[in-house]
Amino acid sequence: MLKVKGLLILPIIIFLLFLSPLVYAQPTLELSSSSGYVEDKIDLKLTNFTPNSTINIFWTFFNSSKIAIASGETDKDGKFNVTIKIPQDKGGKKILEAIDKLGLKANVSFTLLPKIYLLSLKEKPSEEVSQVEIGSELMALGSGGVEDMLIFIDNQRYDVKPEIEENGKFSFEFLALGSAGTHGITLVSSKGKIFHSFLFNVTGVTNEILMGVEVANHFTLRDISNKFSDFIKNLFSLGIRMDENTALLRGDVKVLTENYLKASKETQAKIASNITETRKELSDLLGLVSSKVDENTKATLGLERNFKDINERLDTFKDSLSSLERAMGLIRQDISSSFSSTQASLSAIRDELMDLSSELDRVLSSVKAGFEDLLKVDRESLQNISYLVLSVTPQLLQAYSMIQLLILVSIIIGIISLILFFLLRGKITPRGKLNG
């Protein structure tokens, strides 16, 4: 029976699991733009959340930390609209997640792009400049930097890779070279996608020969400086390695000398003692393994006994269930037979009470006919009493048991007898004549 019920419940559960996504709409989170820069304002539209519920919007940063950047309360339809400002972070794919107080959530991805937000002179890195003179040393500050970002200045690749901070900020220095006019800095991905373009103006008189010399000198000096720095680093590391190798060589020579000076007998004795200790450790290890094997064997035997006891208890439980089912069958038969007997008894009692009611009607009719002239009782009152008794009797037959009905009939007969007694006592004089 239990197996049949389980088989019936399983399809219902599967049906509900497949039906639930169709009945309940999933929460959604939509953005007005799927990409942007730091400090940009993006509109968020949330639907199908819990009505009149507090809701929070979280931003997952590059270091995996999660911070709420907006919050509010949904309307009666579970909707919520808000405008957020993109925080400082490294560029790339970001996750925006909305969660209400009941745990309903939705998320969407957003691409944070790098950009140049400030151009300044090298000696004044915090002051923004829009026009610079030819040959000025400039510093560009950016946000949302990514590792595969390439920098182009006037379509020439900038060969120094800037260091990107944990919050995505980066900076790099360059010379304002070329002719007077508009120049540009372009941030490009390694796959050729343009992230951002920044334009600035260069003023001054252009001297092509002088600019060529300055450009050559700039790149030549930078190459010489880089090479000299690398040479110093290599020389310093070579000196450290030579010192380390010398120290190691001295240590090795000292160890070899000491080993050579030691007697071979001592070495053999140590080897023999090591072998003895190793044999002892192996013997102890074998003994420990053997004991563990014995313990596992005993534990296995104990588990087998426990499984046997469980099987025996299951058999006993099955026998008890069978006995209980047989007993329930006998109880059902007894209840059925008892119910049939009770119905027969009630039918017999109903017949007897009906006969008693008929007899009572006959007696009442005889009493009423014999004493009608003598008592001058109001016939309508007697008829109402008789009608009341006759109408209540079938209902009492259905509502009470045999003993209660007999008691009630006895009480009714007693009441009628008392009424007749008092009527006769009040109407008949001691001489046997009627009063009045």
pLDDT tier at 44, thresholds 50, 70, 90? very high
Neighbouring residues of 42: CB distance < 8 A, sequence distance ≥ 6: 31, 32, 33, 36, 83, 84, 85, 86, 110
- Per residue in 319-342, pLDDT tens? 878 887 887 888 778 777 777 777
**Mean pLDDT score across all residues of the chain:** 77
pLDDT tier at 237, thresholds 50, 70, 90? low
Q: For residue 59, what is the enclosing H or E element? A: strand 54-60
**Which stretch of 90-104, 129-143, 145-159, 308-322 has the lowest confidence by average pLDDT?**
308-322
What is the gyration radius of the CA atoms in the chain, in angstroms? 54
Q: Which of 36-45, 211-220, 423-432 has the highest mean pLDDT?
A: 36-45
**By the 8 A CB rule, do 66 and 59 touch?**
yes
**Which stretch of 235-239, 335-339, 373-377 has the lowest confidence by average pLDDT?**
373-377
- Strand runs (DSSP E) across 146-265, as ranges? 149-153, 156-157, 170-175, 181-189, 194-203
pLDDT of amino acid 100? 94
Give the pTM: 0.45
The mean pLDDT value for 97-112 works out to 94
- Per residue in 173-186, pLDDT tens? 988 877 788 888 99
Higher pLDDT, 251 or 280: 280
Closest CA to 112 of 36, 194, 57, 196: 36
**Which stretch of 160-174, 223-237, 273-287 has the lowest confidence by average pLDDT?**
223-237
Secondary structure (3-state) at 133: strand
45 phi and psi angles, rounded to 5 deg: -125, 120
pLDDT of amino acid 45? 95
The mean pLDDT value for 218-239 works out to 60
